[in-house]
Amino acid sequence: MNTTTSAATILDVYISEDKQSYYTLITMGNMSFRIALDTGSADLWVVSSACTSSGCSSLPRYQLGYKSLTFESVNDNQTLFNVSYADTTTVSGFVARETVLLNNLTVVNQAFGLINSSNVSLTNDISGVMGLSFSRLSTISDTVANATSIFGSMAQQGQLDYPLFGLSLKTNATGTLALGAIDATTVTNRSRIEWYEVVPFAPYNGTNGTAASYLQWVIELSNITVNGTNVTPQPTYSQSASNHSLALFDVGASGIYGPYQDVARIFDQISGARLVDASSGQWVVPCDLSETISFNFGESNFTLQPTDYLVGPVSDDPYYCLAWPAATAPSHDGIDWQLGTPFLQTVYSIYSFGIDTKEAPMMGLYALHNATELDESVADVSSYFSSASATVDTMLPNYLVSTPVYTTPAYIFNTSVSAPPGLIVSSGLATSTYSPVLGTAATVNASAIPTVDPSPTLFTYIVTVSSGVVSTSVSTASQATVTLGEPPGWSSGAATVHVPTRFVVLALSALLLVVAC
């Protein structure tokens, strides 16, 4: 364990109304925000009161006019922050520093993006994104000295009981994000966690780097089975000596995505499946099916039942259901598979950050489906969608859609630099003041993994009156009322602007550009 004062905490996690993201509550500069979680990125950003574009004008925003005593400007607010996402949406603004509170954990001087322009679609008053990946992936780390991802800050400052976090994602209840430990109410048997070495990546081509480092939460994917029939993944590139495909675990992705060469063979095993959209790589299958899809990362199978991978009946013909995975074009980083929330909802996922010079990053997966449970029947699947009653607004083509053919892009990493899974590196991970307790994926000391309990949501009261009569009642724990995006008791018209205005937002047609002035 770490020799300095450390802690663990657990935050509630909620699914958005559109089912596209999971979010939690954080506090910055005495203001509370709902922030979407993303293990596929590494930066923290929040929309600011200067953002008037359609993507953020109605959201709770960081009030630039409030004199937060913990706000610190970076380069007089002239360090630009720009992020583009795979769906072509973008955010832009500038970099600043602020104190971030996550329950009992306080992260001081955390570098983050204050957004002035955005076309990212956010619901449920979600005001930004908290990236939980490695700092090498951070846009801010590239431009600001001594800036790391928010989890990297906690791990490098030794604030946690252990440098790991765990995610429990639920569709109809409250999930959890545990920081520094794992959720004891979800993981009831730590010996059942299966551990896998994270894959590092060599330096980018054309750079001067000579050593591999950790970039994303990626592990090797060994095998896929459909109802027991093997579909061996075919990697786009030979990234490792084992020649396995690579899979990214991404809570920021609302689907499961894989390469055409794998996805087409998966649906070949399901009678009646057909490709209906070549650009999105989307297949439909008969809704009355019982086939399972399993992913294997070197040990046990992690199995998806039909209700895990079916999106829902299509409005055009409810006999058919849209299904995951969707197929994608080859990626130049060699990450063929992206396992988003449909997969992550079936496991408790653990992300161990690693320790400089001592321990490599690892991922732990704890299956939530009992292996002895019976597979879902056709009747089970039909009942599930009947109760949901909703259909997916889709028009099916009345012709056969051909599988597209792609040209494989050039690999972007330096193939002359070795990057084996489980590589121990000297920097970029947790501070070396931690003592390693996990060991290797093959020899994890499960009993040493710290746990934390969520706060109770129900309380039972037992009252005995003088006559001897005993009464029992159950009540829900009271929830503190939080005003999003505004400090308590503050009015936006009662304060002067705290930071100098360095940006002018110009509306040009449908585009919003941020320029320094």
Q: What is the pLDDT of residues 147-204, one digit of tens each?
A: 999 999 999 999 999 999 999 999 989 999 999 999 999 999 999 999 999 999 999 9
Residue 209 to residue 483: CA distance in whole angstroms: 46
Is the pLDDT reported for residue 24 higher than 50? Answer: yes
Contact yes or no for 135/148 (Cβ under 8 A): yes
Q: Which two tokens stand for residue 448?
A: 């040493």
pLDDT tens sequence across 315-344: 989 999 999 999 999 999 999 999 999 999
Q: Residue 463 pairs with which residues in a beta bridge?
A: 471
**CA 14 remoteness from chain centre:** 13
Q: pLDDT by residue (tens digit) across 262-302?
A: 999 999 999 999 999 999 999 999 999 999 999 999 989 99
**Residue 264: what pLDDT?**
97
Per-residue pLDDT, 296: 97
Instruction: Give me the residue spans of the domains in the chain.
Output: 1-176
3-state secondary structure of 251: coil
Can you tell me the distance from the alpha carbon of 135 to that of 475, in angstroms, rounded to the nearest whole number?
A: 43
* Distances 177 to 298, 456, 498 between C-alpha atoms, Å: 26, 15, 33
Q: How many CB atoms lie within 10 A of CB 336?
A: 26
pLDDT digits (tens, 9 = 90+) for 201-216: 999 999 988 999 999 9
Residues 6+ apart with CB under 8 A from 123: 16, 17, 18, 20, 21
Average pLDDT over residues 499-516: 32
CB-based contact 485:32 (threshold 8 Å): yes
**Number of neighbours of residue 300 by Cβ within 10 angstroms:** 13
Which entry of 38, 183, 336, 356 is annotated as an active-site residue?
38
pLDDT tens digit sequence for 418-442: 999 999 999 999 999 999 999 888 8
E strands within 66-190?
72-73, 80-84, 90-102, 105-118, 126-131, 164-168, 175-179, 182-183
Cβ atoms of 414 and 204 closer than 8 Å: yes
DSSP-based helix, strand, coil % in the chain, nearest 5: 10, 35, 55
Other CB atoms closer than 10 Å to residue 107's CB: what's the count?
19
The domain 1-176: what is its CATH number? Answer: 2.40.70.10
3-state secondary structure at position 446: helix
How far is it, in rounded angstroms, from Cα 68 to Cα 358? 39
Tell me which of 183, 250, 336, 356 is the catalytic residue: 250
Annotated catalytic, 12? no
Q: Name the helix (H) or strand (E) containing 381.
A: helix 378-388
Compute the half-sphere exposure of residue 146: CA atoms within 13 Å on the CB side of its CA.
Answer: 6
Separation of alpha carbons 267 and 213, rounded Å: 36
Mean pLDDT of the 6-14 span:
92
